[in-house]
Amino acid sequence: MLRDKREGFGLVSIAVHWLSALAIIFLFGLGLYMTSLSYYEPWYHKGPTLHVSVGLLLFALTLMRVIWRLVNPKPAALPNHTPVMRLGASAIKVLLYALLFTLLITGYLINTAEGKGAEIFGLVTIPALIELGPDTVDLAGSVHLIFAWSIIVLAALHGGAALLHHFYHRDKTLVRMLKPVKTDSH
């Protein structure tokens, strides 16, 4: 029930998938909100701390997710999935991971641009590896914003495809990401 099987996903993959989705949506919303604040509003100073902490946790969760994928069997495609569907799903997943890692790395670089480490809720500090100049930090900020929007658009397409499979194709694509595969009884 915890591990993935050829028949479907286990509880760990499902939990990490939905935790990641919630964190991404939360970070996107908080990021948009923060950009609308003036210097004198309390969340102008509180928001970035929360944004960075959750972003660093999401980075760790995403690394764990990739490792988990490498050590677990990949669930088989459903019989009604055409080669084009499988290729499209794989391409979207790879693109989401690439965008997410780039987004998380640029967030870290923006936060540590002046040489100060990035903190996770004031408990752990991830040291700054490099300092960025003004032009480079602006570039990282632009990439961060563009990739954040890109992830939201791709995630919406990903969710829409899952709903299409559930309601139109009437297959178990969505259900497999909601209910863990059962363990064998023997």
Question: Within 13 A of 60's CA, how many CA atoms are on the CB side?
Answer: 8
| 47 domain-assigned | yes
Q: What is the tally of structural domains in the chain?
A: 1
What secondary structure does DSSP assign to 95-147, as a single string?
Answer: HHHHHHHHHHHHHHHHHTTTSPPEEETTTEEEPP-----HHHHHHHHHHHHHH
| 118 domain-assigned | yes
122 conformational bin, left if phi > 0, alpha if psi -120 to 50, beta if neither? left
| 182 domain-assigned | no
- Rounded to an integer, the average pLDDT of 44-55 is 95
Domain that holds residue 132: 11-77+86-176
- Rounded to an integer, the average pLDDT of 55-76 is 94
Phi, psi of 168 (to 5 degrees): -100, -55
What pLDDT band is residue 76 in, cutting at 50, 70 and 90?
Answer: confident
| 184 domain-assigned | no
| 4 domain-assigned | no
- Rounded to an integer, the average pLDDT of 108-114 is 94
| CATH number of 61's domain | 1.20.950
- Rounded to an integer, the average pLDDT of 42-59 is 95
Can you give the C-alpha Rg of the chain in angstroms? 19
| 3 domain-assigned | no
Residue 95 pLDDT > 60: yes
| 31 domain-assigned | yes
| 185 domain-assigned | no
